[in-house]
Protein backbone atom coordinates (compact mmCIF):
# COMPACT_ATOMS: atom_id res chain seq x y z
CA UNK A 1 0.00 0.00 0.00
CA UNK A 2 1.48 3.38 -0.98
CA UNK A 3 2.94 5.34 1.92
CA UNK A 4 2.18 9.05 2.06
CA UNK A 5 4.19 11.45 4.21
CA UNK A 6 2.34 14.74 4.58
CA UNK A 7 5.64 16.59 4.05
CA UNK A 8 6.17 14.99 0.63
CA UNK A 9 4.12 15.68 -2.51
CA UNK A 10 4.37 12.05 -3.64
CA UNK A 11 3.62 8.58 -2.32
CA UNK A 12 6.30 5.99 -1.71
CA UNK A 13 5.72 2.54 -3.19
CA UNK A 14 7.61 -0.75 -3.24
CA UNK A 15 8.82 -2.36 -6.45
CA UNK A 16 6.03 -4.94 -6.07
CA UNK A 17 3.45 -2.13 -5.95
CA UNK A 18 5.13 -0.43 -8.92
CA UNK A 19 5.06 -3.67 -10.91
CA UNK A 20 1.36 -4.15 -10.13
CA UNK A 21 0.59 -0.59 -11.28
CA UNK A 22 2.63 -1.07 -14.46
CA UNK A 23 0.97 -4.42 -15.20
CA UNK A 24 -2.46 -2.81 -14.70
CA UNK A 25 -1.53 -0.19 -17.32
CA UNK A 26 -2.16 3.54 -17.67
CA UNK A 27 0.92 4.74 -15.77
CA UNK A 28 4.01 6.56 -16.95
CA UNK A 29 7.37 5.32 -15.65
CA UNK A 30 10.18 7.86 -15.52
CA UNK A 31 13.74 6.61 -15.10
CA UNK A 32 15.45 9.49 -13.27
CA UNK A 33 18.97 8.14 -13.77
CA UNK A 34 21.57 9.32 -16.25
CA UNK A 35 21.34 8.05 -19.87
CA UNK A 36 24.26 5.60 -19.54
CA UNK A 37 22.57 4.00 -16.50
CA UNK A 38 19.27 3.73 -18.37
CA UNK A 39 21.04 2.15 -21.34
CA UNK A 40 22.56 -0.56 -19.10
CA UNK A 41 19.14 -1.75 -17.88
CA UNK A 42 15.76 -0.18 -17.12
CA UNK A 43 12.13 -0.94 -16.38
CA UNK A 44 10.53 -1.90 -19.70
CA UNK A 45 8.70 1.03 -21.26
CA UNK A 46 10.26 3.64 -18.98
CA UNK A 47 11.17 7.07 -20.29
CA UNK A 48 14.62 8.35 -19.36
CA UNK A 49 14.49 11.87 -17.92
CA UNK A 50 17.45 12.44 -15.58
CA UNK A 51 16.29 14.05 -12.34
CA UNK A 52 17.92 17.40 -13.10
CA UNK A 53 16.13 17.48 -16.48
CA UNK A 54 12.65 17.07 -14.98
CA UNK A 55 11.80 20.77 -15.13
CA UNK A 56 13.24 21.47 -18.60
CA UNK A 57 11.51 18.36 -19.99
CA UNK A 58 8.21 18.92 -18.19
CA UNK A 59 6.25 18.62 -21.45
CA UNK A 60 7.27 14.92 -21.52
CA UNK A 61 5.49 14.24 -18.21
CA UNK A 62 2.01 12.72 -18.35
CA UNK A 63 -0.82 14.96 -17.22
CA UNK A 64 -3.54 12.30 -17.45
CA UNK A 65 -2.12 9.32 -15.57
CA UNK A 66 -0.04 8.46 -12.50
CA UNK A 67 3.72 8.93 -12.82
CA UNK A 68 6.13 6.48 -11.21
CA UNK A 69 9.67 7.81 -10.70
CA UNK A 70 12.50 5.31 -10.34
CA UNK A 71 16.27 5.70 -10.12
CA UNK A 72 19.03 3.48 -8.76
CA UNK A 73 17.94 3.47 -5.12
CA UNK A 74 15.14 6.00 -4.67
CA UNK A 75 16.95 9.28 -3.95
CA UNK A 76 17.13 10.98 -7.35
CA UNK A 77 13.63 9.82 -8.20
CA UNK A 78 12.32 11.49 -5.03
CA UNK A 79 13.93 14.76 -6.16
CA UNK A 80 12.38 14.32 -9.63
CA UNK A 81 8.96 13.75 -8.05
CA UNK A 82 9.43 16.95 -6.02
CA UNK A 83 10.23 18.82 -9.24
CA UNK A 84 7.12 17.36 -10.91
CA UNK A 85 5.01 18.44 -7.94
CA UNK A 86 6.34 21.98 -8.32
CA UNK A 87 4.78 21.94 -11.80
CA UNK A 88 1.37 21.23 -10.29
CA UNK A 89 1.32 17.46 -10.94
CA UNK A 90 -0.24 15.46 -8.13
CA UNK A 91 -0.51 11.72 -8.94
CA UNK A 92 3.16 11.01 -8.22
CA UNK A 93 4.94 7.94 -6.85
CA UNK A 94 8.54 7.26 -5.85
CA UNK A 95 9.68 3.65 -6.22
CA UNK A 96 11.59 2.84 -3.04
CA UNK A 97 14.81 0.91 -3.55
CA UNK A 98 14.79 1.82 -7.25
CA UNK A 99 16.40 -0.36 -9.89
CA UNK A 100 18.50 -2.10 -7.24
CA UNK A 101 15.31 -3.44 -5.61
CA UNK A 102 13.68 -4.07 -9.01
CA UNK A 103 16.64 -6.21 -10.09
CA UNK A 104 16.79 -8.00 -6.70
CA UNK A 105 13.11 -8.92 -7.07
CA UNK A 106 13.90 -10.59 -10.40
CA UNK A 107 11.68 -8.27 -12.44
CA UNK A 108 12.48 -7.80 -16.14
CA UNK A 109 14.85 -5.14 -17.41
CA UNK A 110 15.35 -3.87 -20.93
CA UNK A 111 18.73 -2.74 -22.23
CA UNK A 112 19.52 -0.01 -24.72
CA UNK A 113 17.44 3.05 -25.41
Q: Domain segments of the chain: what residues?
A: 3-104
CATH number of the structural domain 3-104: 3.40.250.10
What single string gives the DSSP state of each residue in 33-84?
S-HHHHHH-B-TT-EE--GGGTTTTGGGS-SSS-EEEE-SSSHHHHHHHHHH
CB 19 within 8 A of CB 45: no
Backbone torsions φ then ψ of 30, nearest 5 degrees: -110, 120
How much is the mean pLDDT over the chain?
A: 96
What is the reported pTM? 0.95
User: Which residues of the chain have a pLDDT value below 50?
Assistant: none
Amino acid sequence: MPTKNELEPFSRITVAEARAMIDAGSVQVIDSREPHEHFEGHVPGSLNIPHMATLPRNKDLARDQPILFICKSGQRSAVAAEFAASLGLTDLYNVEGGHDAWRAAGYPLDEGD
